[in-house]
Chain A
């Protein structure tokens, strides 16, 4: 469930923040997912479990609002959920989105540069 949620989140970030105005070949979003999962495995050990728990919270919270977890939502609903957390009054939600957005954006643009 964790990997599926990370995958859905990375695809959403790439869709919303990386593909705008792209005319040339773009890297596979799945490569970004692999990079983000690998980075999760590298992060300080005391942070790994809290990030997993938060990721699952992020996923399951959608059931209340949309009737399905984040990973099963359509693209527009996913983008809205990410925006809700990005603009949340709760700092841990904003930090959570920033972590994944930073990794996905850096990973995608680095891979794009490598493609070129």
Chain B
């Protein structure tokens, strides 16, 4: 059942100092993104008493247009204004609503690559996580969220990148999505459908199995309470909340999970090794229309240089295109031709790592990230190679999105691009964050054991992207879902 916030019984008087201490549960799950929702669903279906707490509001997937200003305001943390600070700043976004990141991402699905799992096994001593051992977990996730390919042609802008890559002899592929599809409206649009986010899949499953959902409630601290835990926090209306639980799963994502644990005094290898997938973009113009209001999510990715570099097509609505041209102030008129334009990205699997720290007196955690010189060289190489593919696809003009970038019209002009992306003038962003609390048996670097149990803290678990040992080089939701299932089944004694 989902609690109506207004119907909660509150002990004490109304107002800022009111305290609701009436919550007791066997298992408290903090965060309702892919890790938390899957954990809650499996626990509830196994008959456990589960309370699922989410800081953000409980909104339907359809409460706003995808990738719109309304979505930023309703569902993004801090309205989408969340920077990782460092020599090159990286803008990142996190979902802050029931369903977490699954409500706002593009829904492109990848399994964790086999070589990445092998590296995690050797470097982090992650046990029982080979490709063969993960197979059943990947299959279950793919079935549960309807991972599938488009039933019709891909959006024209997506196909353009694919065509360019194929002309160059590069490996390019359509990536499946967690999506239930309908039929396409026209040639520039993707077939419509419904993203199988957590509010469409695992959150209803958890509630149907008896889990309780407490939305708009932020857990501020965890404290040992006898053999269990006492979670203290506050509702959006300022009422303080106390929750007693035997077991706690922290699933707030790669930034909020370490922030909560560090606020609670749990710091061993917590928040020291954040990784992300920085992307740099190019707005490309073509001789024909490639874009429409119904374009949807592009599905092709170029994997010729993976894992070092991956290329894809971004959401290319007129507002995002205008934003993509921000580094070319003398070309503002280009945005008027948005139907002939699309945005493309080059993504790197970085060497650099970052930290998550709480600041005394402040609510929001400080995220810092250090891109290495190699990362900046790879980003520059990514811009050049992506430009090569787009020109091969007969793009007529390219606007690389970083300060001082030249406008490119011909292959030979790609030489004008720098060999190292200028850190101070870069314009990087990401939606993929992970690895802030890595799992494994290597106690020197890991925060939790191979199944997410926090070292030195009985009955305390992590189940989200924080656990991924390093950047997987692909969209991480498939990895997060598979490891959440694997770890909760271990907890239930079913693995």
Contact = CB atoms under 8 A, between A and B. Distances in A.
Co-assembled chains A and B = yes
Interface of A: 16-18, 20-22, 35, 38-39, 42-47, 86, 91, 94-95, 98, 101-102, 105-113
Interface string B364-375: 101000000000
- Interface SS majority for chain A: helix
B317 interface: yes
11 contacts: A18-B332, A39-B79, A43-B79, A94-B425, A105-B319, A106-B69, A106-B323, A109-B322, A110-B68, A113-B293, A113-B318
A113 B315 CA distance: 15
Interface in B65-100: 68-69, 73, 78-79, 81-83, 89
Nearest to B337: A21
Contacts of B78: 42-44
A113 B326 contact: no
Q: Which among A16, A17, A94 has the highest number of chain B CB atoms within 10 Å? A: A17
A112 B81 CA distance: 22
Nearest to A99: B81
Given A43-B79, A91-B424, A105 B336 contact: no
- What are the 8 A-B residue pairs with the smallest beta carbon separation, nearest first? A42-B79, A44-B364, A109-B319, A110-B69, A43-B81, A109-B322, A110-B319, A46-B362
B425 A17 contact: no
A45 B403 contact: no
Given A17-B322, A18-B332, A105-B323, 5 more contacts: A21-B333, A46-B359, A46-B366, A98-B326, A109-B322
B469 interface: no
A91 B425 CA distance: 8
B133 to A, nearest CB: 39
Contact of B81 (A17, A42, A94): A42
B482 interface: no
Nearest to B359: A46
Contact of B69 (A17, A43, A91, A107): A107
B145 to A, nearest CB: 29
A51 to B, nearest CB: 10
The size class of the interface chain B forms with chain A is: 20 to 34
Contacts of A22: 336
Contacts of A107: 69
A45 B81 CA distance: 11
Nearest to B404: A87
A93 to B, nearest CB: 11
Q: Which among A22, A105, A111 has the highest number of chain B CB atoms within 10 Å? A: A105
Contacts of B319: 105-106, 109-110, 113
Interface string B317-341: 1111011001001001101100000
Contacts of B73: 38, 42
B90 to A, nearest CB: 13
A16 B81 contact: no
Given A45-B362, A45-B363, A94-B403, A86 B329 contact: yes
Contacts of B318: 109, 112-113
A109 to B, nearest CB: 4
A46 B360 CA distance: 10
Nearest to A17: B332
Nearest to A105: B322
Interface string B128-168: 00000000000000000000000000000000000000000
Contacts of A18: 322, 332
B358 to A, nearest CB: 10
Contacts of A112: 318
B322 A106 contact: yes
A49 B69 CA distance: 24
Contacts of B320: 106
B81 A39 contact: yes
